[in-house]
């Protein structure tokens, strides 16, 4: 790309020139530069550039002395043993996002700062540095949060110039020329389902764009707000309000990608007032009966809640979009497999990335079933060794392999549990393979295995007996 082309596509430089023009009271140049920012952000140069988290660097933050992690533009899955620091990384990401959100909502508003508990024990200070970029654009935005330990010299200084500029650019351009705004959502392990029964006293302006950022990065996730929004949107759709109809169509389209039980995916949502209450009902598969959404399992409700919540926020933020599912942003999910059956764990990430193709997902997991749907380039395994803390790409790509391969080759865990019974299994196998299956020793071992509840695969017995017969033939 030529130097001239880079300058034309560098939002950071263009907006800085705009600010300079404003300070110099050069209104014509300022307006022209603001329009240039609008054209890039609105996709007039080809495609809407989505905001992406590129890199995170941690220094004496929580358990990490130092850690550097690179994120992929569509999906990054964090893997590690308990206490490896996965949630700590998400916590640092969320803190960084709160500064963009806060500055976008109001000039000079602050996000969440580091606290004393974020400082690694024994360290003088803690610092987190985050780098963002616009997909398809030149230039990056890097800013750091820092805090000194109590009783230490206050030498740790935050560097917030880039995040102030990033948020200011979104806010100013959007105020003059409404543009697509990014979604930010955090689904924590504390995500809970509160009854969908709608409080009639609750008021909500479903057309207030910035309400989409309300509680979006909260450490505890509640899906209550989606139901009031859905009721108001549903009633507006009944009144033939075109915008509300788009809301509901987007929800239906999104839910159709998620299988909820053996019958299939959800095919629709509706309000039912026949009982005198405001009840949200869901239909699973066309022509099936409608059921109270509160009667779904925890796994069904959590998936349904996350999908509706993302659609809701996307459409509130960008009402002019014909298809809100094409919106961009950053969604963070801790323990993506929470409450999900292994069969659903094998579909949740492909379905999310298919339904929301322009969203950057950053998730953690302990599930080999989840990893079996992810290629190695999108996985970061957390290690702690003599070289320090590292987040590295695994050598093996578990995509489309058996979950046992992900368990062994990515997560570093044996396919079989480390139980004393394993030694008995091995001894019995060796006796069968050597042609001594009918000896008293082998039969005693078999009885021990049967009593313990261990079931020997018939295919294994066939293989062992074949090897025993082949060995006998060779000996003869």
Q: Residue 32 corresponds to which tokens in the numbers above?
A: 């022209």
Q: What percent of the chain has pLDDT over 90?
A: 59
Residue 144 inside a domain? The answer is: yes
Backbone phi, psi, residue 307, to 5°: -65, -50
- CA atoms of 211 and 215, how far apart (whole Å): 9
Assess whether 273 and 152 both reside in one domain.
yes
Q: In terms of domains, do 305 and 449 share one?
A: no
Write the DSSP string, 168-231.
HHHHHHHHHS--PPPEEEEE-TT-B-------TT----TT-GGGGGTTTT-SS-B-HHHHHHHH
- Residue 358 CA to residue 49 CA, distance in Å, equals 10
Residue 324 and residue 429 in one domain? no
Tokens 């961009």, located at residue:
328
Q: Please tell me whether residues 97 and 155 are part of one structural domain.
A: yes
How many structural domains does the chain have? Answer: 2
pLDDT > 70 in the chain, percent: 90
Same domain assignment for residues 95 and 174: yes
19: Cα separation from own chain's centroid: 34
> Residue 5 pLDDT > 70, yes or no?
no
**Domain termination residue (choose one: 409, 429, 459):** 409
**323 pairs with which residues across the strands?**
none
pLDDT at position 450 is 93
Q: How many CA atoms lie within 13 A of 82 on its CB side?
A: 0
- Cα dihedral sign for 229, 231, 236, 242? positive
What local confidence, expressed as pLDDT, does residue 130 receive? 97
Give the separation between CA 309 and CA 457, rounded to whole angstroms: 45
Least confident of 5-19, 139-153, 209-223: 5-19
Whether residues 317 and 436 fall in one domain: no
- Residue 347's nearest CA partner among 265, 258, 254, 256 is 258
Please indicate, yes or no, if residue 441 is contained in any of the structural domains.
yes
Per 3-state DSSP, the chain is made up of helix, strand and coil in percentages (nearest 5) of 45, 20, 35
Mean pLDDT on 299-324 = 88
E strands, 98-158, are 125-134, 140-148
3-state secondary structure of 178: coil
Residues contacting residue 314 through CB under 8 Å, at least 6 positions apart: 183, 212, 250, 321, 324, 325, 327, 329, 356
Looking at residue 6, what is its pLDDT? 43
pLDDT exceeds cutoff 50 at 1: no
Reduce the DSSP state of residue 200 to 3 states and report it: coil
Q: Of the residues 376, 409, 442, which one is the last residue of a structural domain?
A: 409
User: Tokens representing 436?
Assistant: 């001594």
Instruction: State whether 100 and 186 are in the same domain.
Output: yes
When pLDDT is averaged across residues 225-243 and rounded to a whole number, the result is 75
What is the predicted pLDDT for the residue at 426?
93
In the predicted model, is pLDDT for residue 21 greater than 60?
A: yes
165 token code pair: 């500029």
Same domain? For 342 and 454 the reply is no
Q: What is the DSSP letter of 287?
A: T
DSSP reduced 3-state for 199: coil
Greatest C-alpha distance within the chain:
101
Query: 72 and 184: one domain?
Result: yes
Q: Please state the rounded mean pLDDT for residues 158-167.
A: 94
Where does a domain end: 409, 436, 455?
A: 409
Rounded mean pLDDT of the chain? 87
Residues 171-193 have a mean pLDDT of 90
Q: How confident is the model at residue 241 (pLDDT cuts 50, 70, 90)?
A: low
Residue 37 lies in a domain: no
Edge to edge, the sheet with strand 183-187 lists 183-187, 329-333, 359-365, 75-79, 379-385, 388-392
**382, 277: one domain:** yes
Confirm if 310 and 260 have CB atoms less than 8 A apart: no
**Pick from 4-13, 158-167, 257-266: least confident:** 4-13
Q: What is the DSSP track for 316-366?
A: HH-TT-S-GGG--EEEEESSTTTT--HHHHTTHHHHHHHHSTTEEEEEEE-
| Sign of the alpha-carbon torsion through 171, 176, 182, 187 | positive
| Domain match, 276 and 348 both | yes
Question: Which structural domain range is residue 430 located in?
Answer: 421-475
220, pLDDT greater than 90: no
Greater pLDDT, 261 or 377: 377
Q: For the residues 77-82, what does the mean pLDDT come to?
A: 95
Averaged over 173-179, what is the pLDDT?
A: 92
Residue 223 and residue 48: Cα distance in Å, rounded? 29
* Residue-level pLDDT at 246: 61
pLDDT of residue 472: 80
pLDDT (mean) for 166-183: 93
Cα–Cα dist 384/65, whole Å: 10
State phi, psi for 435 to the nearest 5 degrees.
85, 15
Per-residue pLDDT, 196 = 54
DSSP assignment letter at 272 = E
435 token code pair: 């042609």
């Amino acid at each position: 790309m030529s130097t001239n082309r880079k300058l034309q596509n560098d939002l950071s430089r263009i907006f800085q020139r705009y600010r300079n023009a404003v300070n110099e009271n050069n209104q014509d140049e300022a307006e022209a530069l603001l329009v240039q920012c609008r054209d890039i952000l609105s996709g007039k140069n080809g495609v809407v550039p989505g905001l992406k988290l590129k890199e995170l660097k941690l220094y004496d933050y929580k358990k990490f002395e130092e850690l550097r992690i690179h994120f992929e533009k569509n999906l990054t899955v964090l893997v590690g043993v308990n206490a490896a620091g996965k949630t700590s990384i998400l916590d640092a990401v969320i803190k960084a996002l709160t500064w963009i959100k806060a500055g976008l909502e109001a000039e000079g508003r602050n996000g969440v700062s580091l606290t004393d508990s974020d400082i690694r024990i024994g360290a003088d200070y803690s610092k987190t540095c985050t780098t963002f970029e616009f997909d398809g654009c030149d230039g990056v935005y890097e800013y750091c949060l820092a805090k000194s330990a109590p009783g230490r010299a206050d030498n740790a200084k935050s560097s917030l110039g880039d995040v102030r500029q990033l948020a200011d650019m979104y806010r100013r351009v959007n105020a003059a020329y409404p543009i697509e705004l990014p979604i930010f959502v955090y689904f924590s392990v504390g995500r809970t389902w509160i009854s969908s029964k709608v409080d009639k006293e609750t008021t909500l302006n479903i057309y207030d764009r910035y309400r989409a950022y309300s509680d979006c990065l909260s450490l505890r996730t509640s899906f209550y707000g989606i139901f009031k929004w859905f009721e108001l949107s549903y009633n507006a759709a009944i009144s033939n309000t075109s915008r509300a109809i788009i809301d509901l169509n987007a929800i239906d389209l999104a839910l159709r990608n998620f299988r909820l039980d053996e019958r299939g995916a959800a095919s629709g949502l509706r309000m039912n007032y026949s009982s005198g209450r405001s009840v949200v009902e869901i239909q699973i598969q066309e022509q099936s009966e409608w059921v109270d959404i509160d009667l779904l399992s925890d796994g069904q409700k959590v998936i349904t809640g996350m999908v509706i919540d993302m659609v809701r926020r996307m459409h509130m933020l960008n009402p002019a979009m014909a298809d809100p599912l094409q919106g961009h942003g950053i969604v963070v999910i801790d323990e993506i497999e929470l409450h999900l059956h292994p069969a659903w764990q094998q579909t949740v990430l492909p379905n999310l990335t298919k339904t929301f193709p322009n969203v950057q997902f950053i998730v953690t997991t302990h599930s080999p079933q989840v990893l079996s749907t992810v290629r190695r380039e999108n996985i970061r395994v957390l290690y702690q060794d003599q070289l320090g803390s590292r987040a590295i790409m695994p050598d093996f790509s578990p995509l489309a392999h058996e979950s046992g391969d992900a368990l062994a080759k990515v997560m570093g865990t044996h396919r079989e549990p480390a139980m004393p019974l394993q030694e008995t299994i091995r001894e019995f196998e060796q006796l069968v393979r050597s042609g001594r299956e009918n000896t008293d020793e082998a039969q005693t071992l078999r009885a021990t295995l049967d009593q313990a509840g261990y079931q020997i695969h018939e295919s294994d017995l066939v293989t062992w007996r074949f090897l025993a017969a082949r060995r006998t033939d060779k000996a003869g």
